Amino acid sequence: MEEHLIDWSRAQFALTAMYHWIFVPLTLGLGFIVAIMETIYVKTNSEFWKNTTKFWLTLFAINFAIGVATGIIMEFEFGTNWANYSWFVGDIFGAPLAVEGILAFFMESTFFAVMFFGWDKVGKKFHLLSTWLVAIGSNLSALWILVANGWMQYPVGMEFNPDTVRNEMVNFWEVLLSPVAVSKFLHTIGSGFVMASLFVVGISAWYLLKKRELEFAKKSMIVGALFGLITSLFLILSGDESAHQVALKQPVKLAAMEGLYEGKEGSGIVAIGILNTEKTLQNDEETFKFDIEIPYALALLGYHDITAYVPGLKDLVYGNEQQGIMSAMVKMQKGKLAVQALEDYKIAKKNNNMKGAQKAKKTLDENMKYFGYGHLKSPEKIVPPVSITFYAFHIMVLLGGWFTFLFALVLYLSLKKNIEKYRVILWCAVWSIPLGYIAGEAGWVVAEVGRQPWAIQDLMPVGIAATKIATTNVMISFMLFAALFTLLLVAEIKIMTKQISIGPNGGH
Amino acid sequence: MININKIYSFYLDGFKNMKIGVTLWKIIFIKLTVIFVFLNYFVHDKSINTEYKSFQSKSNYVYHNLINKKD
């Protein structure tokens, strides 16, 4: 497979996934914020809260309408650009996506209509229930997608069938409740909640800066900042669990996230650092040109033990007998055995040699978990792009810390002081909206770039997952997707800003 | 029993009274047209489903890719 084609297919998928993720987090979080505001309206029977709910609901609708179906393109791409992968994953990927489709269609679309058309036509409580169900339904849709993604990071609950060359689900609950899938789901929706809170706080801050809609802005800001602070703390906890799972299931990714070439006991976390671009696996150059480290923090975060040994990239590539770490070369040998066993099995079956088939199947089963290594050219191939993974991880964490501080500060100033006077803070809140998107995208970059070269962890590298199609077609469709998504983004920003400038009293 | 007329008028009134919703529906319509019709030509070029019709032939295609390719 030519590298050029694989890179274009990768780039195309990254482009569509990253654009799709611009629309999703706001839907995940704003639905709950709207539901909370409507709950206040139903409790207080205040027209102010009804109007406030309607305003944020309109922005929710704009984002939803423009973002809807942008994920479909990725499903096309699985079939066209990643055909080997699509076949190999079998029903494991299909089942969660089908559930997602059914949930999205029936739950969301039914209650969406009530939420938008049902004001004054259905009872207040039924309307409120619909709003909550839309919020919950959106997040449940995300669950199934993230379960599928979690399986790619940590494939469990399946058995490889050499007759069909597919993985077959043998335990649905193992797939659904995989610790990687659960932590990924919680951390991802948490990031959506924080993003939506930044959106509400930022827009409210803009109204205060413009000295408009003061009561609306202040009260919206309190709801947004409180929701943001609570969900930021939740995000920290789920992030801790995510990192723990990465340490256990994807140690190469963890080492790349921290630029850790040499493993050590009680390893620290680099709070801020600039990587030395000359550093490679083969030399002894310093990893960082500059860094500030928090001692023991990586061992604590990754293994919940400050004395734990955190393997570095060199341990994981070349092995470390003392620490019981198998080298990538040994895994490659096992992987080649698995690939050869698959071929032997097929040949034996074709020749009606049942004994031979049985023997080959046994070898395949014993080495199947290293199957993907059998396709790698060299052990060093297991290392993802370190600098992208490192910087994306640190941008995400630093921004997450900033958001938590911002929510706490805004909440304090809103409740105890006159926040209108703190214009610098208000501007910070406005500019934190794009920062929220950057943090979310950075999180996905860590998750996906950090697990390269794997399409399915340890089982299938991207070079094998990709379909051999015309590179020109992938390039053309890349350009078209880029144009389409950019147009949608421009439309979103334009319609959204117009609606915001109209304000909460301008009709929805 | 579900009153079909009531549901019909619920949706009809909802669509009639839309303000910004009209623009959003236009965007959804244009977007879906572009995705399913226009891009279809480029994206649905060749796939395992268009090239191989039977389950067995698809399985064989992937099998050969799995045993022959190198990353």
Residue A81 has pLDDT above 90, yes or no: no
Q: What is the pLDDT of residue A312?
A: 96
Contacts of A479 (CB under 8 A, 6+ apart): none
Q: What is the pLDDT of residue A92?
A: 82
Does A367 touch chain B if contact means CB atoms closer than 8 Å?
Answer: no
Q: How far apart are the first and last CA of chain A?
A: 53
| Residue B71's pLDDT band (cuts 50, 70, 90) | very low
Phi, psi of A291, deg, nearest 5: -160, 150
Residue A371 has pLDDT above 90, yes or no: yes
SS3 A210: coil
Contact present, A385 and A253 (Cβ < 8 Å): no
How many CB pairs below 8 Å do chains A and B form together? Answer: 124
Average pLDDT, stretch A276-293?
92
Average pLDDT, stretch B41-46?
62
| Residue A508's pLDDT band (cuts 50, 70, 90) | low
Higher pLDDT, A37 or B6: A37
Residue A105 has pLDDT above 70, yes or no: no
Q: What is the mean pLDDT of chain A?
A: 92
Cα dihedral A233→A239→A241→A243 (10° resolution) = -150
CB contact under 8 A, A464 and B69: yes
Instruction: Write the single-letter amino acid at A7.
Output: D
Residue B70 has pLDDT above 60, yes or no: no
Distance (Å, rounded) from C-alpha A415 to C-alpha A218?
9
pLDDT over 70, % of chain A: 99
| Residue B44's pLDDT band (cuts 50, 70, 90) | low
Q: What is the mean pLDDT of chain B?
A: 78
Distance (Å, rounded) from C-alpha A185 to C-alpha A188?
5
CB contact under 8 A, B24 and A166: no
**Residue B1 distance to chain A (closest CA, Å):** 17
Q: What is the pLDDT of residue A417?
A: 85
Top residue of A80, A458, A460 to mutate, by most chain B CBs within 10 Å, is A80
Tens-digit pLDDT profile for residues A470-498:
888 888 888 988 998 899 889 889 999 99
Top residue of A459, A480, A498 to mutate, by most chain B CBs within 10 Å, is A480
Average pLDDT, stretch A65-77?
82
Distance (Å, rounded) from C-alpha A433 to C-alpha A425?
13
Higher pLDDT, B34 or A256: A256
Q: What is the pLDDT of residue A37?
A: 97
SS3 A183: helix
Q: What is the pLDDT of residue A256?
A: 97
Sign of the four-CA dihedral A257, A6, A482, A77: negative
Cα dist. A318→A280, A313, B65 in Å?
Answer: 13, 8, 28
Q: What is the pLDDT of residue A119?
A: 87
Higher pLDDT, A74 or A310: A310
Q: How many CB atoms lie within 10 A of CB A470?
A: 11
Distance (Å, rounded) from C-alpha A82 to C-alpha A91?
15
CB contact under 8 A, A507 and B19: yes
Residue in chain A closest to B10 (alpha carbons) equals A117
Does A1 touch chain B if contact means CB atoms closer than 8 Å?
Answer: yes
Domain range for B12 is 4-68
| Residue B1's pLDDT band (cuts 50, 70, 90) | low
Distance (Å, rounded) from C-alpha A372 to C-alpha A282?
24
Contact present, A214 and A271 (Cβ < 8 Å): no
Q: Which residues pair with A159 in a beta bridge?
A: A168
Residue A159 has pLDDT above 50, yes or no: yes
Distance (Å, rounded) from C-alpha B3 to C-alpha A494?
40
Chain A CB contacts of B42 below 8 Å: 473, 476-477, 480
Question: What's the pTM value of the predicted model, to 2 decimals?
Answer: 0.92
Contact present, A52 and A504 (Cβ < 8 Å): yes
Residue B33 has pLDDT above 50, yes or no: yes
Instruction: Write the single-letter amino acid at A413.
Output: L
Residue A359 has pLDDT above 90, yes or no: yes
Residue A341 has pLDDT above 50, yes or no: yes
Quote the ipTM score.
Answer: 0.81
Whose structure tokens read 């030519």? A2
| Residue A194's pLDDT band (cuts 50, 70, 90) | very high
Residue B2 has pLDDT above 80, yes or no: no
Q: Name which of B47, B62, B67 is nearest A88 (Cβ-Cβ).
A: B62
Q: Name which of A62, A69, A375 is nearest B32 (Cβ-Cβ).
A: A69
Residue A198 has pLDDT above 90, yes or no: yes
Q: What is the pLDDT of residue A22?
A: 93
| Residue B45's pLDDT band (cuts 50, 70, 90) | low
| Residue A107's pLDDT band (cuts 50, 70, 90) | confident
- A272 Ramachandran zone, left/alpha/beta (phi>0; psi -120 to 50): beta
Average pLDDT, stretch B7-22?
78
Distance (Å, rounded) from C-alpha B54 to C-alpha A460?
24
Domain count, chain B: 1
